Amino acid sequence: MKKGGILHPDMNKLISQTGHTDWIVVTDAGLPIPENVNTRIDLALKEGTPGFLETLDAVLEDLIVEKIILAEEIKSISPKMNEEILRRFPGIPVEYLPHVEFKQRTKQARGLIRTGEFTPYANVILVAGVAY
């Protein structure tokens, strides 16, 4: 049995197979998941479960991130969520895109992890970094 950390086998596999500059998307409950993405992990159980930030924090325990991409709309529609996301990435470059373009970009992801989050625009593209 695994000692701790992420217990979900598909999430462990996705993170361990992610290489430098690959993308993982952590999403709210409403973001459409593109059909062509290799790994689609839907954790959404009910509204708020699991939460976006809780899931993001678990991923960040195992993934090195060199850049994040967010929807421009999060700044005005969900500013507290925007602040919470940015707080987790001090010194990391942030790119904002219109939500329509953000959704198009998710098609390039190695995998998507859907949460039960109902906060609008609580989505982030994590660009994987390297440990050296």
Catalytic residues: 20
Q: Is residue 12 a known part of a binding site? A: no
Is the CB of residue 126 less than 8 Å from the CB of residue 25?
A: yes
User: 121 among the known binding-site residues?
Assistant: yes
**Are the beta carbons of 27 and 103 closer than 8 angstroms?**
no
Q: Rounded CA gap, 124 and 88, in Å?
A: 12
Q: Judge whether 123 is annotated as a binding position.
A: yes
Question: Does residue 122 have a known ligand-binding role?
Answer: yes
Q: Are 18 and 109 in contact (CB under 8 A)?
A: no
Is 132 annotated for ligand binding?
A: no
How many Å apart are CA 27 and CA 11, to the nearest integer?
A: 14
Burial of 38 (0-12, 13-18, 19+ CB in 10 A): exposed
Annotated binding site: 28, 99, 121-123
Annotated binding site for substrate: 28, 99, 121-123
